[in-house]
Chain A
Amino acid sequence: MTTDRAKLVQAALPILVGLLFLAGWEAFVRIEQIPVYILPGPIRIAERLWEDWDTLSDSLLVTLGVTFAALAAAVIGGGGLAILFAQSKWIEASLFPFAVILQVTPIVAIAPLILIYVPNTELALLICAWIVAFFPILSNTTLGLNSTDPNFLDLMQLYRAKRWQTLWYLRIPNAMPYFLGGLKIAGGLSLIGAVVAEFAAGTATAGTGLAYRILESSYRLDIPRMYAGLVLLSLTGILIFASFATLSWLILHRWHDSATRRER
């Protein structure tokens, strides 16, 4: 019973703090009479979100489309490349540095170039989001595939396991917690990648994604709408993270230390 109550308090605390913060913000804006084009209160932002829901939600769907397409490509690309790396140290040694170069180059700097070379804007956005999302999956999965217990590899050799059997029955399940950790990071990053690319694209052409809506609102000095777009983006990011954390728990809770509860 007491643990249940403690859990309830633990869940209620951040909500309470959040509400207090919003109330303080609203009070500050009203008492100081801050003009809405400088800092709108949370109530005004919520109103704006409601008024513009049709446009904003359409834009959100566009951004989500890019985000998930990029994430899917990152899972296939990053995971596939990691499996390729696991086959031979030579492949890993010759390709990994380029993956790092791709990772450390800021996406804002490459995005304009990609937008020039790739005529289809949608595809260009997808490439940008993919570049930032694939690296955590690649590096985590590579680490997981390579951290197989050597005794286990001996065991597989003893039973004359074929290469694919060792990969399928041993290396891939062993890499699963690492891969899922990478996926959690990549989910947020692909959203960020999609948004950054949209900003880069938004200055050049007319876009339809959520980042473009924020940019458009800033040109029109519609600050409440900027905040409304921002709120939608944050909520989406939180939702993506939460769904991958849940997925990770569902897959791992039976066996992995990270997801099992400790008895005290």
Chain B
Amino acid sequence: MDTVTNAPPLVHLEKVSKTFSNGTAAIAGLDLELRCGSFTSLLGPSGCGKSTALRMIAGLTAPSTGSVTWDRGRPELGFVFQEPTLMPWRTVWGNVFLPLRLAGLTRAQAEPRIADALARVGLTGFERSYPRQLSGGMKMRVSIARALVTHPSLLLMDEPFAALDEITRSRLNDDLLSVWAAQRLTIGFVTHSVFESVFLSDRILVMAARPGRVVADIAIDAPYPRTEAFRTSEVYNHHCRIVSKALKDAMGGQHDH
């Protein structure tokens, strides 16, 4: 695990702030970096700006002040939203084809890459299905396949499994880890689930709200591959306790629910 914690940063945000046009300070004085090959989770209460931070890394939102720096140029990146965001009028194949089509590839050129991306998420055989014929979990798999089809070196995921049931979610967690291991990806993962972030990540950045900033940087020193056994292990529980504590501190005793 030392190899990851000492890996060079892929991207870093320095003294970043974001004030929306209505005057809300979503983020202030945010410093964070994603290291090459790491699985980093941004964990925090709603309104802490974790999604905004992810969107800034993706270049979808510009910081009001501060900088987003890529140490060796901006790599190819994939983004997965909380909703599957699929085109209902296209088949599974057509949806995964979209990024390649936008890049100017023909169907024939794209075919092997699409087949490969679908195989990685376990959707071989569903090429001709329409999104409405699929379950929530399968739609999310299509969304992940679409993000992987461009062979990104950075995958950004904004609470991708928040709307799924527990069983589907844990299955997708397992599959995401195998994709990550096989592709040597860097993953930035936004979540509000302590359990999910500990299971998946090698590093968790805990964020606090009003204004959004990073308040704790916790390494999860547990080896991969992480299996079902890991979910009940003492190491897992130990880290869950640490992260829960950090999250509670971050929320500063506010119990607004």
Contact = CB atoms under 8 A, between A and B. Distances in A.
B37 to A, nearest CB: 22
A128 to B, nearest CB: 35
Given A255-B130, A255-B132, A260-B132, A156 B102 contact: yes
| 5 closest A-B pairs by CB | A255-B88, A151-B85, A159-B102, A255-B89, A151-B81
A53 to B, nearest CB: 44
Interface in B70-86: 77, 79, 81, 83, 85
Interface string A123-152: 000000000000000000000000001011
A173 interface: yes
A173 B89 contact: yes
A6 B103 CA distance: 51
A85 B198 CA distance: 48
A256 B90 CA distance: 11
Nearest to A154: B60
Contacts, number: 51
Given A254-B130, A255-B88, A255-B132, A157 B60 contact: yes
Given A151-B85, A173-B87, A158 B130 contact: no
Interface size class of chain B, counting residues whose CB lies under 8 Å from the partner chain: 20 to 34
B156 to A, nearest CB: 9
Nearest to B60: A154
7 contacts: A159-B150, A169-B98, A169-B102, A173-B87, A255-B88, A255-B89, A257-B132
Interface of A: prevailing SS? helix
Contacts of B132: 255, 257, 260
Contact of A151 (B59, B83, B99): B83
Contacts of B85: 149, 151-152, 155
Interface of A: 149, 151-152, 154-161, 165, 169-170, 173, 176, 254-257, 260
Contact of A170 (B58, B83, B87, B150): B87
Nearest to B86: A152
B184 interface: no
B107 interface: no
A136 B85 CA distance: 29
B48 to A, nearest CB: 20
Contacts of B150: 159
